[in-house]
Structure 1
Amino acid sequence: MNWSNVLQASAGSLQPLPIPEAIWSNVSMDFIEGLPKSQGKDTILVGVDRLSKYAHFILLTHPFSTNTVAKAYMDNVFKLHGIPKTIVCDRDKIFCQDLLLSTAYHPQTDGQTEIVNKGLETYLRCMTGENPKEWAAWIPLAEWWYNTNYHSAIGKTPYEVVYGQPLDIHY
């Protein structure tokens, strides 16, 4: 991964991150934490391809280490998409331990993963209703829902961008 651009950029007015040249070459990651235990899990690692907007939602359990997060990424994302050139991540202590991170007020950070997080949290609240401890069972469908929904920023679904064709669903 190339962190030199992130490290060398100076603080200043907010600037958008450059548009990636290829899918899964630039990834943003964040955690959704503080969830009630569900199937033994209490955290979601959200990984989003910055070009296609395609996302993966990975279940974790506290406490977890940088190695645990890296293994979860390898098991769920790397095996499908390879190693990204860059990763934009928040200031979570896991990323601070061994990984380089985006800094507060840094001109090269983006809020893309936070937007995905809010949508995922809303989806899970709607689907679990009065059974909030059942959220983990909804993650596979939530990931499918997110990736097959139209995104105005890309003019199509993340699924279409990654697979080159619309999902053929007949209702």
Structure 2
Amino acid sequence: MSLDFVFDLPAEDKGNTGILVFVCSLSKMYHLAPVRDKITGKQAAQLFLDSVFRYHGLPETIVSDRDPRFTGAFWDTLFQMLGTKLTVSTADHPQTDGQTERVNRVLEDMLRIVCAEAPRFWSDQLPMVKFALTMRRQADVDQPG
């Protein structure tokens, strides 16, 4: 499982300005959670449990960048309690988390369009954005090599 944030979206009616992106390394399934820019590690962990754990169970490894929300004491405690480990990409080698970075690039392109049309309601469009991401991924898989 890999996770990363996409921020700098326009503030919408619920106060969200970003998305926490989860990507399952095995299924390539995406999970998108709208977040505020002041999200804490504890809140991110709760989103992980609510948005990901119930579908995928406990991954052996979770990959993230070095965002302090992913490297703080709460995450260390959570991973220790759950018996998993956090692997962070090195500061000079963010492509360690390449899977999520690729998803984020496509997601950011889609969100620019959504935010241009509905800047105060973009989080309401996340189910459709997730569907479009999934269909795009499936089209990539189905292409003859």
- Whether these two folds match at TM > 0.5 is yes
CA distance in 2, matches of 1:107, 1:148: 26
Deviation at 1:46, TM superposition (A): 0.3
Deviation at 1:118, TM superposition (A): 1.3
Deviation at 1:41, TM superposition (A): 1.1
Report Cα offsets for 1:3-30 as digits up to 9, x if no partner.
xxxxxxxxxxxxxxxxxxxxxxxx1110
Aligned alpha-carbon RMSD (Å): 2.2
Report Cα offsets for 1:7-65 as digits up to 9, x if no partner.
xxxxxxxxxxxxxxxxxxxx111001122211221120000012222110011123221
* Equivalent of 1:58 in 33, 36, 41: 33
Give 2:4's aligned residue: 30
> Does the 8 A contact of 1:125 with 1:132 survive in 2?
no
- 5+ residue gaps, structure 1: 1-26, 158-171
CA distance in 2, matches of 1:67, 1:50: 23
> Does the 8 A contact of 2:2 with 2:99 survive in 1?
yes
Local SS of the residue matching 1:35 = coil
Asked if 1:75 corresponds to 2:62, the answer is: no
> Does the 8 A contact of 1:48 with 1:56 survive in 2?
yes
Instruction: Compute the TM-score of the two structures, normalised by the length of structure 2.
Output: 0.77
Aligned length: 129
Give 1:146's aligned residue: 133
Give 1:96's aligned residue: 71
Larger radius of gyration: 1
- 5+ residue gaps, structure 2: 76-85
Report Cα offsets for 1:82-110 as digits up to 9, x if no partner.
11110110111111213442222359813
CA distance in 1, matches of 2:7, 2:114: 18
CA distance in 1, matches of 2:92, 2:37: 28
Give 2:110's aligned residue: 123
Q: Tell me the percent identity.
A: 40
CA distance in 1, matches of 2:57, 2:92: 30
